[in-house]
Amino acid sequence: MFVIFQVSGGENIKSMPTRVSHIPFFGRLYISDTKLLAAAAMYALPLVTLLMWRPKLGIFFAAVPVFLLLVSHGPSAIAVLIGATFVYAPLTDKIVLLPADAAALILIAAYIVDLLLRGPAKGANRLARPYLLYLAVILVSISLEGFTFLSVRFFLRQLLLAGVFMAVSHYGHKINPRNILILFVVVTVMNSIYSLTQFLLAGGTIRAFGLAGRGYGDHAMLAFLISSVFYIWTRDVRARILWGLAAILTFGAMAATQTRASMITAGWSLVIVVVFALWAGRRYKINTPAKNLAVAVGLMLLIIPVLAAYTPMFDGIVYRFGRIGLHASETILLRISLWKAALAAFRGNPFFGIGAGNFPMVAQWVPEVRFDNIFYLVAGLSTHSVLMTVLAETGLAGLLSMAFFFGRSLKIAHWEFLSTVIDNDLPVMHSLFAVSLAIIGSSFYAGSWFWGSNSYHMALFFGLIASYEQRLTQNVSGGGAA
């Protein structure tokens, strides 16, 4: 069992006596076993009564201690958020509120409490300023075009993501990044097993997402890259087998979603992962199984076409990829129509766009898009591209601010990778570099990293990059990446 979190003072929870009374309560108050037992006894009677007579109120009453525990220990709230992102189950009807949104609010509450009690973390968060600049541009674009329901909802989502990003970077001194990545992969593998079961039982006739919803292709893609990186650098044979199995399962689950953008991103990202591993192994003379991974990738590229050609179960996947090159591909034509509308919105509002979150109503700003023969099929949808959405909704100001954030993130991740290339943290930083590269690269042609169900993963991984740089700058002379 691995240690995911640390409590104040630097000691691991695993090394402490396994008593509930040693869990920090708001960082300062520790409850004795006797008081904890008495409190539980007094709490049980009203809880049972409410569950019998007012079930909804009883559930809320039961959740209060869990909420207090998570608020008192932010790293635990991060773990809950990771699990919640894999459950697509709207909690409300009119406005889609997901379990991940509730978990994000709890994490932000924990961050605020910890900030008030202990103050900010040591070291400067060099990604905070670019992120806050992007938020400011969003607010300006909304203010110039007028506040709408869509724009307000979009901005509230950005505040949640910014809060998660700041919280993760703040708790960097309490989090073991390696085990956060392991937790993410473990949860992904569990959902992958479920989604693959769905896919196989249906004979390959459905797109299987498990519990995570339609955004699971991106979830699985990130876990596949992390598993591949750990497979490269792990020296223990048993652990390497487990990482290889995780990579196979997450790749299979990604294929079962039939999400073409995710699989394309996984393909070119994996090539870069292998190239970087081979380069680092040669330059620093590290004994790495990257050559074995290159052989495995080659075999996979040979086996997949054979399975696709002779196994009917993969017909749906082959059909969706085969349509990419056909003029009659419905989804490609629809996406082109969306991008044409986005470019038209950008031409009409080049500096601050039509307002963040407003693209589903783009026809109100650019009436001529209605004359597109197939626009009526995509009216009300997003652009299915981070780049096009930013151009249409926030103009050049939004594009430059996002480029500033992405560019600095990638540069810091690359610097961290080079700075730890002979350290035990190498697979961690290589994973974060690969993930940041995949997120940034896929934003040009797909992705919903700032508003979709995978947006919390963006905030999580970039927050880990920011927090890890704070550690390195205290140990590496020169102050880090420029």
Residue 5 confidence (pLDDT): 41
Q: How many CB atoms lie within 10 A of CB 232?
A: 27
Residues 267-290 pLDDT 10s: 888 888 888 877 777 776 666 665
Residue 365 has pLDDT above 50, yes or no: yes
* pLDDT-derived band at 314, boundaries 50, 70, 90: low
Residue 242, SS3?
helix
Residue 124 confidence (pLDDT): 66
Mean pLDDT for 398-413 is: 91
Residue 159 has pLDDT above 60, yes or no: yes
Residue 117 confidence (pLDDT): 85
Closest Cα partner for 49 from 36, 64, 62? 62
Task: Enter the pTM of the model.
Answer: 0.82
Place of tokens 């993963």: 457
Residue 352 has pLDDT above 70, yes or no: yes
Residue 140 has pLDDT above 80, yes or no: yes
Mean pLDDT for 69-77 is: 86
Q: Which residue has the higher pLDDT, 1 or 42?
A: 42
The CA-atom distances, in angstroms, between 389 and each of 70, 216, 287, 381 are 35, 21, 44, 11
Residues paired with residue 29 on neighbouring β-strands, in sequence order: 25
